[in-house]
Chain A
Amino acid sequence: MLYYLTKRLGLSAVVIGLVVLVLFSLLHFIPGDPATIALGPRATEEAIARYAEKMHLNEPVWRQFLIYIGNALTGDLGLDVFSDRPVTAIIMERICFTLALVGAGMGWAMLLGIPLGCLAAVKPNSWLDRVTGVLSVGTIAVPSFLVSIWALLIFAVQLRWLPAIGAGEPGQIGDQLMHLILPAFAIGLSWVGYLARMVRASMLEVMGENYIRSARAFGLQPRRVIFGYALRVAILPTITLIGMGFGGMISSTVFAEIIFARPGLGKLIFDAVMARNFPIVQGAVLVATGLYILVVLFSDILIAWFDPRVRESL
């Protein structure tokens, strides 16, 4: 287990290193001088030279890269071009909103999608199965930004049940939760469909296994057979899917955060790209990648925890 963890963390470090390299190279391929962009067209020669010195822009590229890596390792992702505030601090302010959104989105999708998939698999070709099937395909096919806009129009503008924009007043949990509902609904909706389909498919397969027949032949209650035996095995591929889906969900948050004007990582990246605020883009993408890798690692460990055969082979 220790060996496995070390190996996985080492591989993750390599992946993050590659991401940094790509981000870094992209900046150098973009035309224009960073100092000029940062200081604006009316900056003096002197100011530009001072800025370049301060930002190590006169060093060779590989040294710049190493300096960046070194700083990133100590938690320093550079300074915001406009406000001169540390990028790390800006990201930390925003990341909670994104995590709350992704957690809520995936959370409700799991709470609804997994049981729905189970029930559909237990009674294949029943009306529930058919409805689930149609809904799954429907929700998967609709892009999340469309759902966001429609949800906004219906529930916030027309019905006025829920607040339209922002993330709620700081410190007021109730208000923040109300603001979370619509965006979480929007980004989670297609995942209800994905999860229901995935769980249904693997449950159908597992329900045909000999050990399920054994459990039934020993007279176990259907509830125990379905949730204690079949789901325990069928959930394994779904955990991987959820882990991988986390990445997709981080990108859906970009739309949701823009449409609902939520201060999150996605909106931060979007605004920074529009403003050519590269230290923020770099830092935010790096953090998002790191998050994604951590979640995938966590889902793999979770699988090992569920499946003793995997656990022991690590």
Chain B
Amino acid sequence: MPKDALHSPETLLDVRNLSVDFRTPRGRVKALRDISFPIRKNRIVGIVGESGSGKSTVLWALLGLLAKNADVMGGEVRFGDRDLLQASEAQLRATRGEEISVVFQDPMTSQIPVLTYGRQMLDILYRRPNVSAAEKRRLAVEMLGKVGIPDPDKRIDQYPHHFSGGMRQRAGIAMALLTGPQLLLADEPTTALDVTMEAQIIHLLQDLQKELDATVVVVSHNLGLIAELCDDVVVMYAGEVIEAGEVREIFHNAQHPYTRALLECDPARIDDVSRKLPVIPGDIPDLTKPRSGCIYAPRCQRALPVCHETLPPDVARGETSLARCHLLDGLHHDPSWPPPLDVMTVGQEGSAGTKPARAKHDAALLEVSELNVQFETIGPLRARLKGLSQRHVDAVLDVGLSVAPGETVGLVGESGSGKTTLGRCVLNLVPSQAGSVRFEGKEIRNMPEARFKPLRRDMAMMFQDPVGSLSPRKSVRALITEPFQIHDITGVDLDAEAERLAEMVRLPKHFLSRYPHELSGGQARRVGVARALALNPKLIIADEPTAGLDVSVQGEILNLMADLQAEHGLGYLIITHNLPVVRHIADRLAIMYLGRIVEEGRTDEVFARPVHPYTRALVEGVPQPDPDRRRVHVSISGEVPSLLNRPKGCDFAGRCPFAQDRCRAEKPPHVTMADGRRHACHFPLG
């Protein structure tokens, strides 16, 4: 960063040469190494990076709330005329919440469940002895109203569990802004939220920042969010700031090879729906080892010998931009770098083969029709005592779906849409009340487990949380051969099988003796894939296969899944909320809302021409990693209603911008259009 920018009066907070170590059993992890960047007044600054980049560590260092095993090794955090790293605990406490405040990542766990919002907000105002309790309450109610919480004077007395996810995050923002801080830090503010909610929170933050003249720092891995929300961007990799600049510079004229690669890997940015996604090969370096040269060199496509030996210079460009790379300046300056935006700088992993045309199978592998799953909400005795006739909610309502061999079907919906319940029901893990589920023509719905068990070899599940779904006490070898033991398959050489499967998912052999906690997210996901594939299944149900994976890794997993499909003719049912991902891998999409499929059709058609207003809202709801394509308005407001009070007419009527009286009175039936698409809308979009 140019030196004079650091001292300019418009700088609110200035991080200078900050280094932080974590003491761990593996040794000292150098989590932040000599990072510097200014935060300019009245700007929204995005800190972007993948897991392990140190972006959250920066945020906690600013607050003086680093974990106990962290050591600040040097540097300064100038805030006004103070250095926050030298401040006493009492001084820091006076700063936190008053001058610097935080919006947290997961509103479900970051608000104490046993205190009302009123109590929590009053506590935050404890430093104002001159303000009466009634006045504090009025301030809190006013702030809750400002962030869009209806009936704030009533809802202030409610507990966090009374609020939905989106409402909680709004309340979290209200708590952070209550004291009128100069600097607002937001840690992945939308990561725990649904797509339609994410858009609303982004706009709320933008509006409030303008209204309150606040300075905001947003930490996120989501390039779309950063592009849509931020003015300035700081890109971090493995504990270093490798590039910084204004948002358009970063997204349209990225200088560092890592920034370029990161942008290219984002599926939301790739319009060309080819089967292969670009990936950054390799893993984040081991931060316990001493570094020499450029931290990104081992993964960089353009690395020169010098990159491995000498620390690259920070090359400034203009007033506010800089990037740390040998290619940009000095002896190794390469005028042809960076190449124009349409040239890809990272390659696709493996062969760039397209998906082979599928043989037209008439027989579907999986066929679900008119499936209904109900959950009991209240016991029979209590229902009678309370005079309720309806004791159930419909988690899945009249769902029809089919998956052919070699086909990928994406099942898309927000949380509470019933998509996971549907997946579990297909696997006979949840009993259903009506309809049929056929696997290879055979009715399997509610089949007793003893008869269903042999079928489990043909249908495998990939679970959502890659690390959490693996037993921490088993080695990778034991984990991927476990299916053989579950199904009492003897006469196979388990060691040979383990090696075969590891090779299939491109997991190096020495990983077989490791344990789950020693794996990265991508490696753990590979183990999950290997487990699912162990018994040569025909159908794989994958629940959020890329959730929790970094952009640079998720391409690897998706490419691997595509390769395995081409090789073995697998059918995939992919359950996800991530539209950019399914767009690349799914042949057909089914969009679920409140337990019903509202639209189903070929992926390209659904994206090009959504028929149901909800589908359109989802498609438009994904923030684009391009600051020039910011949305000016939020396409839908409100939240998914509770299953307990399902609307009488169309489930989406309450949020639909096109809803008419008929939509509110009558549930739209499923209609099949001439081109084979199905939808459930009275007034389909043209």
In the assembled complex, the Cα of A273 lies from the Cα of B178 at a distance in Å of 67
Interface positions of A from 190 to 247, Cβ below 8 Å from B: 209-221, 224, 228-229, 232-233
Known: A211-B110, A306-B114. 4 other contacts (CB 8 A): A217-B102, A218-B97, A219-B94, A233-B112
Q: B175: which A residues are within 8 A, CB to CB?
A: 218
| Chain B 90-131: CB-based contact to A (< 8 A → 1; otherwise 0) | 001111111001101010011111110000000110110000
Q: Which 4 A-B pairs have the closest CB atoms?
A: A219-B97, A219-B96, A218-B97, A211-B112
18 contacts between A and B (CB under 8 A): A210-B104, A210-B106, A211-B111, A211-B112, A214-B110, A216-B96, A217-B97, A217-B102, A218-B97, A218-B101, A218-B102, A218-B124, A219-B97, A220-B126, A221-B126, A228-B123, A233-B114, A308-B114
Interface positions of B from 359 to 395, Cβ below 8 Å from A: 382, 385
Interface positions of B from 178 to 236, Cβ below 8 Å from A: none
Interface positions of A from 129 to 167, Cβ below 8 Å from B: none
Q: A309: which B residues are within 8 A, CB to CB?
A: 113-114, 159, 161
Q: Give the secondary structure class of A's interface.
A: helix
Q: B382: which A residues are within 8 A, CB to CB?
A: 3
Interface positions of B from 116 to 153, Cβ below 8 Å from A: 123-124, 126-127
Q: A53: which B residues are within 8 A, CB to CB?
A: none
Q: B106: which A residues are within 8 A, CB to CB?
A: 210
Interface size on B, residues (CB 8 A): 30
Q: Are B109 and A210 in contact (CB under 8 A)?
A: yes
Task: Flag whether B480 is at the interface (Cβ < 8 A).
Answer: no
In the assembled complex, the Cα of A211 lies from the Cα of B109 at a distance in Å of 6
Q: B98: which A residues are within 8 A, CB to CB?
A: 219
Residue of B with least CB distance to A206: B112
In the assembled complex, the Cα of A50 lies from the Cα of B613 at a distance in Å of 91
| Chain A 1-26: CB-based contact to B (< 8 A → 1; otherwise 0) | 00100000000000000000000000
In the assembled complex, the Cα of A119 lies from the Cα of B94 at a distance in Å of 24
Q: A218: which B residues are within 8 A, CB to CB?
A: 96-97, 101-102, 123-124, 175-176
Interchain nearest-CB distance for A53 vs B (Å): 45
Interchain nearest-CB distance for B270 vs A (Å): 34
Q: Are B65 and A224 in contact (CB under 8 A)?
A: no
Residue of A with least CB distance to B106: A210
Residue of A with least CB distance to B176: A218
Residue of B with least CB distance to A212: B112
Cβ-defined partner of B113 (8 Å) among A212, A216, A308: A308
In the assembled complex, the Cα of A210 lies from the Cα of B93 at a distance in Å of 18
Residue of B with least CB distance to A308: B159
Q: Are A217 and B113 in contact (CB under 8 A)?
A: no
Interface size on A, residues (CB 8 A): 23
Interchain nearest-CB distance for B486 vs A (Å): 33
Q: A214: which B residues are within 8 A, CB to CB?
A: 102, 104, 110-112
Q: B92: which A residues are within 8 A, CB to CB?
A: 219
In the assembled complex, the Cα of A135 lies from the Cα of B106 at a distance in Å of 39
Task: Flag whether A307 is at the interface (Cβ < 8 A).
Answer: yes
Task: Flag whether B663 is at the interface (Cβ < 8 A).
Answer: no
Interchain nearest-CB distance for A287 vs B (Å): 31
Task: Flag whether B63 is at the interface (Cβ < 8 A).
Answer: yes
Q: Are A232 and B114 in contact (CB under 8 A)?
A: yes
Interchain nearest-CB distance for A168 vs B (Å): 42
Q: B127: which A residues are within 8 A, CB to CB?
A: 219
| Chain A 231-274: CB-based contact to B (< 8 A → 1; otherwise 0) | 01100000000000000000000000000000000000000000
Interchain nearest-CB distance for A101 vs B (Å): 33
Q: B123: which A residues are within 8 A, CB to CB?
A: 215, 218, 220, 224, 228
Q: A3: which B residues are within 8 A, CB to CB?
A: 382, 385
Interchain nearest-CB distance for A270 vs B (Å): 43
Residue of A with least CB distance to B116: A308
In the assembled complex, the Cα of A221 lies from the Cα of B126 at a distance in Å of 9
In the assembled complex, the Cα of A210 lies from the Cα of B98 at a distance in Å of 20
In the assembled complex, the Cα of A210 lies from the Cα of B115 at a distance in Å of 15
Interface positions of A from 82 to 116, Cβ below 8 Å from B: none
